[in-house]
Structure 1
Amino acid sequence: MIKKIFGLALQFLSDFWYLYASFMLTFLLLMWSVIMRSLSLDSMFDVLWGGCYILIVITCILFWKWYRAHKGLIQLLCEEEVHTLSSIATLSSHERMYQQLIKKQQLHQEKMQAQLNEDANDIQDYYAMWAHQIKVPLSVLDLMNQTGTIEKYETSNQLLVINQYLDMMLQFIRLKNFNQDIAYQDMSVQKSLRSVIKDYKYWFIHKDLAVSINEFDFSVVSDAKWLRFVFEQVIFNAIKYTPQGKINIICQNDNQVIIKDTGIGIAQNDLPMIFNQGYTGFNGRINSNASGLGLYMVKRILNNLGHDITIQSEVNVGTTVIINFQQTVIK
């Protein structure tokens, strides 16, 4: 007990040493003044005892306030997790500012942790959905292998689907750190579109879909890898939801790309929500392979690159996707 009291007294003195140092300096100045003036020592001691009484009263008040704050902080230190930082009324103005800074840092860390948890949950949900989706082409390949009916054309199609699912998973992960994986350059839009069309040529042939692209070309300052992913998602959606007919791709001189199909279209009540994460709408309910992430990622990527996208559609008539490359703000 004595050791504890002695330890508290030392801590208190280390916090308020300047008060007692000032008192001792005042006492020494008073002694020097008395000696220099040849005054009575009794007068000096009378003043000294009065100062000691005042110092004792101040010490008691300060120690009471200090001990309350010290006890509260000790209790906080003993807790395994500090969820909220309680306010201590005995702090000085500077100490209150430090406390506010600590609270601000604590809130920032809580927001960061919440964001990390949300990202982890998104990735976990996507992994589960991705595992379900990729089973379909793998099952097709496995069935062809078991029955001995392996066809080069069908195998190429299923491998293309698997590759697209893998690419979407990688892009979804990269999207979380978009600004760390970006390289702006002056690129040809026409060249990127034709490359995607070439990769999907087997799908066009398999579904007997006509595809056309005009000759006009324009350049845009963007990231070629991210932009190619956008074109892949939009064109593959057009192929997937167009049972018959054609897909027209038009590059305009106002820096817009229009991708128009004659597919099943999108219901009007689904259009406002097609860019929401995980939203599949009516078309997604009739197509079990829909993830609800493709258009969400397309919209987010284009916004980050400073571009824009709008979609117009009519059921059983077709869908028109307009990608606007008139640079706005790069995020």
Structure 2
Amino acid sequence: MIVFSLAMISLAVFIIIRKQKIIEAAFQDFLFEPNEVNEEILCQVSSKAYWVFIHRIGSVLRSYQSKLNDQVIELTDYENYIEGWVHEIKKPLSLMTLVLDNRSDEMSDLVRQRMLHIRDQMLGDVGRILYFARLRATHKDYIFESINLLAFCKQTMEEHQTLLDESGFQIQFIGEEMEILSDRKGLAFILEQIIFNSTKYVEQNQENLILRFETVYDKVSGQIILHISDNGPGVSEEDLPFIFDKGFTGGRGTYTRQATGMGLFLVSKMAYDLAIQLDAKSELGSGLIISLIFPNVKQ
């Protein structure tokens, strides 16, 4: 009798556990795909007292799923439109470049310089949109290779000389040439956005503007650091911790008061992808220093 009782209890426990697992599996399928088929399967393995609640939950989940699908379609259409617009706007920009190259003798040096400045600003805005889309992509085509850091900075500055001339910045390069491992396009984008921030938000009629690139080797960590500094208006102490946040414009300082909050945000996202640490130091009225700390990559 004892053996029989233990056997019956074990059988009952086994049946209860097995039924519980069947209910859990059906409920999990229902949550992942709350269609009417999975809803009916869950009802069949559940107590009749829960059917009303299961039908109600299924109806609500399907409603939310339908709205979510509509929003995904709208977002996809919007992204496709923006990307299409970016590629279309490149055509008049290319034509503008062609005219500036072939008809420069028909305009004064000042007009040509201003036109080149506006063109470069527009190219920068278009580049930000493209890199924003690139950062959201699932697969990213980064190519890591050895880069001579100071030479790369000089090359990037030459490509934006009109922007620097218009803003009145003098460029300085300090330190020894050092070799890093990074993606050229991504690193160029980071440098460009920092340059745009330095040149865009300077005070009017400010003289002796300097943009400095300095390489430093940290013997303790074995990391290479690039300090990019200017002597512009700077950022207030309360705004400084948030300058890399999306959409942050701050309350004081020329940098944050006129900014859209996207340039340095994209810098932080790209730096994260390239394993570059960012550090910022500034005081209101004393300029801004942004440091790029490159990873210590062993051969």
TM range (shorter): 0.5 to 0.7
Q: Which residue of 2 aligns with 1:320?
A: 289
- Quickly say closer, same or farther: Cα 1:306–1:323, change in 2 above 3 A: same
Secondary structure at 1:281 match in 2 = coil
Q: Kindly provide the amino acid, as one letter, of the partner of residue 215 in structure 2.
A: C
| Residues 1:273 and 2:242 are matched in the alignment | yes
| Residues 1:250 and 2:214 are matched in the alignment | yes
Percent identity over paired residues: 21
Within the candidate set 154, 157, 164, 1:197 is matched to 157
State the shift of 1:280 in Å: 2.0
- Quickly say closer, same or farther: Cα 1:266–1:203, change in 2 above 3 A: same
Q: Kindly provide the amino acid, as one letter, of the partner of residue 166 in structure 1.
A: V
What is the alpha-carbon distance in structure 2 between the residues aligned to residue 277 and residue 310 of structure 1? 16
Task: For CA contacts below 8 A with separation 6 or more, give which structure has more relative contact order.
Answer: 2
What is the total number of aligned residue pairs between the two structures?
216
State the shift of 1:167 in Å: 0.9
Q: What does residue range 194-273 of structure 1 map to in structure 2 within 5 Å?
A: 194-243=154-203, 244=206, 245-254=209-218, 255-273=224-242
Q: What does residue range 38-77 of structure 1 map to in structure 2 within 5 Å?
A: none
- 8 Å contact from structure 2 (residues 202, 232) kept in 1: yes
What is the alpha-carbon distance in structure 1 between the residues aligned to residue 272 and residue 118 of structure 2? 31
- 8 Å contact from structure 1 (residues 242, 262) kept in 2: no
Q: Which residue of 2 aligns with 1:188?
A: 148
Q: What does residue range 58-207 of structure 1 map to in structure 2 within 5 Å?
A: 87-88=42-43, 90=45, 117=72, 120=75, 151-177=111-137, 179-207=139-167
Secondary structure at 2:158 match in 1 = helix
Q: Kindly provide the amino acid, as one letter, of the partner of residue 263 in structure 1.
A: G
What is the alpha-carbon distance in structure 1 between the residues aligned to residue 118 and residue 171 of structure 2? 21
What is the alpha-carbon distance in structure 2 between the residues aligned to residue 180 and residue 228 of structure 1? 16
Which runs of no fewer than 5 residues in structure 1 stay unpaired?
1-64, 92-102, 142-147
What is the alpha-carbon distance in structure 2 between the residues aligned to residue 248 and residue 231 of structure 1? 12
Give the alignment's TM-score, normalised by structure 2.
0.60
What is the alpha-carbon distance in structure 2 between the residues aligned to residue 209 and residue 183 of structure 1? 32
State the shift of 1:149 in Å: 7.8
Q: Kindly provide the amino acid, as one letter, of the partner of residue 210 in structure 2.
A: K
Q: Kindly provide the amino acid, as one letter, of the partner of residue 325 in structure 1.
A: F
Which runs of no fewer than 5 residues in structure 2 stay unpaired?
1-18, 47-57, 97-105, 219-223
Q: Which moved more, 1:173-182 or 1:223-232?
A: 173-182
What is the alpha-carbon distance in structure 2 between the residues aligned to residue 235 and residue 178 of structure 1? 28
Which structure would you say has the larger Rg? Answer: 1
